[in-house]
Structure 1
Amino acid sequence: MTAAKAMDRPVLEIDNLVIAYKDQDAFHSVVHGVSFAVRPGEVVALVGESGSGKTTTAQAVIGLLAENGRLESGAIRLNGTDISKWSQKQLDTIRGSKISLIPQDPTSSLNPVKTIGEQVGEILKIHGRGDKKAIEARVTELLARVGLSHPELRARQYPHELSGGMRQRVLIAIAIALEPALIIADEPTSALDVTVQKRILDLIDDLRREFNTAVLLVTHDLGVAADRANHLVVLQGGRIQERGPTAEVLSAPRSPYTRKLLADAPSLAKPQRVSKANTGSDEYAIVVENLVQDFPVKNGRETFRAVDGVSFRVRKGTTHAIVGESGSGKTTTARNVVAFQKPTSGRIVVDGADVTALRGENLRQFRRKIQLVYQNPFGSLDPLQSIFQIIEEPLLNFGRIAREDRTRKVHDILERVGLPESTLTRKPRALSGGQRQRVAIARALVLDPQVLVLDEAVSALDVTVQAQILGLLDELQQKLGLTYLFISHDLAVVRQIADTVSVLHDGRQVDSGTVEDVFLRPGSDYTRELIDAIPGTKTFALA
């Protein structure tokens, strides 16, 4: 075989793959006849929602299917050799050396009781790549290569001492340690802030070019795929809906499902919201002036300033977004607004009430005016209660309301959020993520509040479900005149839903104004960096 032909030969070939999971006593197929190939130096993205089969397909490639999963038929060829029938012992010889995995969650993927150096060095030790001294030197080299400062220090630290982005870099160091021919990146940045996400994806791209590595990118984010992949494979229900060169698929999608994904992706969609910032009420639902929040550190002898002089106003019936990365102070600000904590100084007025002055019964009754919707709809709903009980509970906490009136109110609000009555007898675990978030919104609305604070309320949802929830919020705002305080790290979503925005960085407000002004004329380098990091803004083709 000539060198040119060898370079053109796929590193990975998936041929008519069928995978099934055992449920009770029977196996049910979840991946149906999937086929695609990945060549050296190429990025192929598997794109789809939860349950589409993309992660299952990737797990099958590296032989890490769940215990109840099995490969029914089809071939998985690595450099021309079918490894689909290999034993785990055989697969151990190529994991890390020929094929490696960058997992989704850096927190659960690293051993909390082993140092970073031990964990990076483990794969070198398993494959006999040098003595102790040589492995230590290679570990330091790898940590430096993935952009970690002070690599000798990082090698001695434990995972909890590193940020999420730093831990993800450690996983990449492990994945590239033996310079494999194929890297599977399974949602490698979904848990990261947008600027950290961009840096991690840039790093993977740099390494791909340097080593001519083939990359199988698993993602639900079509914006990320648009930026980073040469080819797309769109999955739904375990079947390929569309595949082809990225630019071709995105410019002329043939599948209705792909067209819907494109329409729902906030980073690829054009903003359609007409701002109400200057056309709504002249009254302000929320006024925050010079907000400061300090927290004690070092046994209370010192303080850390989480929020430093933040000010903004939200007109009634509009949406104000607070954006920033982890640690920016956005959630602390939200907790101050809903009176979950008292600020160190500053003034907060919600619907005419001075929040900082409220005490006792007045503070309790204030909860009727403002409600909070959390990020994780599963963690915020009591798993032992029925959906009826979950939505009814706030009504039981405020005054005496007849049972018939409570029942009517629960049914009415359920209908408003677009859920069938049959949902009421079910438990949260029986619902999808989008249905659970609708329940969380229903529970927040059952007291007829004037203000909703939404803390990363759509960040845990698939793109189409996210679009449905954003559409629901817009509809509810139009019908009920609600005011939203929308907390998010995702500027693409903010561009879709918000009228005005405050950008926070290290507790300080570095930009504010209408969404249009901030996006078109950002006033700070940090805001420009956030906007530049929105996925979907790069050219489709990779160099």
Structure 2
Amino acid sequence: MSTALNINSPTSRLSNVPALEIGNLAVSYRSHGEDHRVVHDVSLEVRPGEVVALVGESGSGKTTTAQAAIGLLAQNGRVESGSIRLNGTDISGWPQKRLDSIRGSKISLIPQDPTSSLNPVKTIGEQVAEVLQIHRQGRGTEIEARVIELLARVGLSQPELRAKQYPHELSGGMRQRVLIAIAIALKPALIIADEPTSALDVTVQKRILDLIDELRDEYGTAVLLVTHDLGVAADRSNRIVVLKNGRVQEQGPTDEVLAAPRSDYTRKLLSDAPSLGKGRYVISRVKDGSPADADHAVIVENLVQDFHLSARRATFRAVDDISFTVRRGTTHAIVGESGSGKTTTARSIVGFNKPSSGRIVVDGIDVTSLSGESLRRFRKTIQLVYQNPFASLDPRQTIFQVIEEPLLNFDPLPREERVRKVEAILDRVGLPQAVLARKPHALSGGQRQRVAIARALVLEPKILVLDEAVSALDVTVQAQILRLLDELQQALGLTYLFISHDLAVVRQISDTVSVLHNGRLVDEGPVEDVFQNPGSAYTRELIAAIPGQRNAFLENSVLNGASQ
């Protein structure tokens, strides 16, 4: 399979001196007057022109290790022991002022979140120029020209215009390219890329990773790629280092680790990775034939959703003539990039948007005809689970109050009955009763998402809309939630509308799929049919962008689709 990636650089490109060599690193954080060690005797190296993936779940120590390497630990963090050698020089004991002299010039960081990493009150050009000014790489018009050159080099269209714009005027992918421009400005020997694409759509992710690889190949730069995505690590690294609880579980050439993992933890990570797994959580229940409307939980016909742009007295068409149906007790996925119209479609189905035209029938109810109290009562039938479990729960409420709240909003029950229902649904989602007295901050991400699911289910709806409901979770936690959703669907006969940009997850859990692009339907049908024989160039591009393409199961899908 052809790819822009070239991880097998000629060995002559690789120096005998590692760009980065970490030896027996131990890092601790001080909290409540005590030191808590979070990284234990970690050793790894990255050679020039090489990509080493540092993988593990949240709390594994991978970001702490990367921060220690560049001297950017939090104020309460410190290196207890071990060495950090950059091009053979131990920098672990250097003061911040001395480290400042090499950040950007010898070692650079591409952070995870492009939104919070750029200054909102400075132009893009000013922020790229800053690293050149700090290291005295020219002045005035010379720096301005270099900024334009860098923005063009990372693939930004109209670089002169982008230099004058502010971060909020750029898309997420464009902002990430700006961070890369800053990172490569002085051609450092080492780039640390900390989850550089985790917040991006799959096609944008592929373009960013391709760009990093092109720059690595051009400059011979070493890359330490911090990621929880085993598919990305599989595609983009020469070697993998697996961390758990701050300790190295195993490391070695990527192909060898993937083919024959030695540790149970690595095997678990690989089995849970959607793009590397062989099986599906859900066995397809779609039957042949054309069933009557009564067998459909959701019917969408010729849906159009316009939004008025009052400033210009114009309208923007977010959804353009979309139709699909969802069988009862099945999972239907709506996939596409940001701006494709998938979330707008979901909000119209739930009744949050009044369609401009078209028909939506949910459990036999024409949603487009509802208003006022009838619309409010309808929402007992269909409930929404949001993307981010850290933002969707009220931090002031206890978990009991979070789950109880919907019961108070619809036909309030006696307290004893509410308590019984809350405790029963908590059992159903696999959480202990002890969490009811806690607040959301005391729970992990996976626990919070279970609470969000419990809150949605406490009203006993027939349909759940899951809007990117697992995209913010680590791979093993994601797998747990997907298994839970499957168990709930089989036990309760639920129908799921699954909104996602992650086609690897969609393939695992969905029966049918609709692919949206620029508000229009470009592909639909049973999941395997769409993956094996995509009908549009856009769907083929989405499938080809799924990380983990070394996996033959997915690779064959792309090749079959490309041959259509």
TM-score by length of 2: 0.94
Q: Partners of 1:7 and 1:376 in 2: how far apart?
A: 43
Q: CA deviation at 1:520?
A: 0.3
Question: In the alignment, which residue of structure 1 is the partner of 2:192?
Answer: 184
Q: Partners of 1:102 and 1:521 in 2: how far apart?
A: 37
| Residues 284 and 316 in structure 1, CA contact (< 8 A), matched pair in contact too | yes
Q: Partners of 1:339 and 1:6 in 2: how far apart?
A: 58
| Residues 515 and 522 in structure 2, CA contact (< 8 A), matched pair in contact too | yes
Alignment of 1:238-253 (within 5 A): 238-253=246-261
- C-alpha change, 1:5 and 1:149, in structure 2 (3 Å) is closer
Q: CA deviation at 1:353?
A: 0.3
| Residues 56 and 65 in structure 1, CA contact (< 8 A), matched pair in contact too | yes
Q: CA deviation at 1:329?
A: 0.4
User: Which of 277, 283, 287 pairs up with 1:274?
Assistant: 283
Q: Partners of 2:394 and 2:13 in 1: how far apart?
A: 59
Alignment of 1:447-486 (within 5 A): 447-486=459-498
| Residues 13 and 48 in structure 2, CA contact (< 8 A), matched pair in contact too | no
State the AA in 1 paired with 2:356: T
Question: In the alignment, which residue of structure 2 is the partner of 1:62?
Answer: 70
State the AA in 1 paired with 2:520: R
Question: In the alignment, which residue of structure 2 is the partner of 1:27?
Answer: 35
Q: Partners of 2:386 and 2:377 in 1: how far apart?
A: 20
Question: In the alignment, which residue of structure 2 is the partner of 1:260?
Answer: 268
| Residues 336 and 343 in structure 1, CA contact (< 8 A), matched pair in contact too | yes
Q: CA deviation at 1:360?
A: 2.1
Question: In the alignment, which residue of structure 2 is the partner of 1:99?
Answer: 107
SS of the residue 1:314 aligns to: strand
Question: In the alignment, which residue of structure 2 is the partner of 1:120?
Answer: 128
Question: In the alignment, which residue of structure 2 is the partner of 1:201?
Answer: 209
Q: Partners of 1:7 and 1:198 in 2: how far apart?
A: 28
| Residues 124 and 130 in structure 1, CA contact (< 8 A), matched pair in contact too | yes
* Alignment of 1:78 onto 2:78: no
Q: Partners of 1:91 and 1:259 in 2: how far apart?
A: 38
Q: Partners of 2:30 and 2:479 in 1: how far apart?
A: 32
State the AA in 2 paired with 1:500: T
The worse-fitting range, judged by mean Cα deviation, of 154-163 and 326-335 is: 154-163
Q: Partners of 1:484 and 1:90 in 2: how far apart?
A: 55
In the TM superposition, what whole-angstrom CA distance separates every residue of 1:368-407 from its partner, at most 9, and x where no partner exists? 1100000011211111111111111111111131221111
Alignment of 1:115-194 (within 5 A): 115-194=123-202
SS of the residue 1:8 aligns to: coil
Alignment of 1:137-536 (within 5 A): 137-272=145-280, 273-278=282-287, 283-299=295-311, 301-536=313-548
Q: Which structure 1 residue ranges, 5 or more long, are not aligned?
A: none
Q: CA deviation at 1:4?
A: 6.8
In the TM superposition, what whole-angstrom CA distance separates every residue of 1:234-275 from its partner, at most 9, and x where no partner exists? 000000011000000000001000000000000111242321
Q: Partners of 1:279 and 1:234 in 2: how far apart?
A: 44
| Residues 337 and 517 in structure 2, CA contact (< 8 A), matched pair in contact too | yes
Q: CA deviation at 1:279?
A: 6.5
Q: Which structure 2 residue ranges, 5 or more long, are not aligned?
A: 1-10, 553-564
| Residues 13 and 220 in structure 2, CA contact (< 8 A), matched pair in contact too | no
Q: CA deviation at 1:153?
A: 1.2
> What number of residue pairs does the alignment pair up?
538
| Residues 331 and 496 in structure 2, CA contact (< 8 A), matched pair in contact too | yes
State the AA in 1 paired with 2:178: V
Q: CA deviation at 1:6?
A: 8.2
Q: Partners of 1:360 and 1:161 in 2: how far apart?
A: 37
- C-alpha change, 1:20 and 1:236, in structure 2 (3 Å) is same
| Residues 100 and 182 in structure 1, CA contact (< 8 A), matched pair in contact too | yes
| Residues 46 and 216 in structure 1, CA contact (< 8 A), matched pair in contact too | yes
Q: Partners of 1:361 and 1:298 in 2: how far apart?
A: 29
State the AA in 1 paired with 2:500: S
SS of the residue 1:97 aligns to: coil
SS of the residue 2:15 aligns to: helix
Question: In the alignment, which residue of structure 1 is the partner of 2:559?
Answer: none
Q: CA deviation at 1:8?
A: 2.0
* Alignment of 1:18 onto 2:26: yes
SS of the residue 1:7 aligns to: coil
Question: Which runs of 4 or more aligned residues in structure 1 lie more than 3 Å from their structure 2 counterparts after TM superposition?
Answer: 3-6, 279-282
SS of the residue 1:74 aligns to: strand
Q: Partners of 1:286 and 1:523 in 2: how far apart?
A: 24
Q: CA deviation at 1:538?
A: 4.0
State the AA in 2 paired with 1:461: L
Q: Partners of 2:401 and 2:109 in 1: how far apart?
A: 43
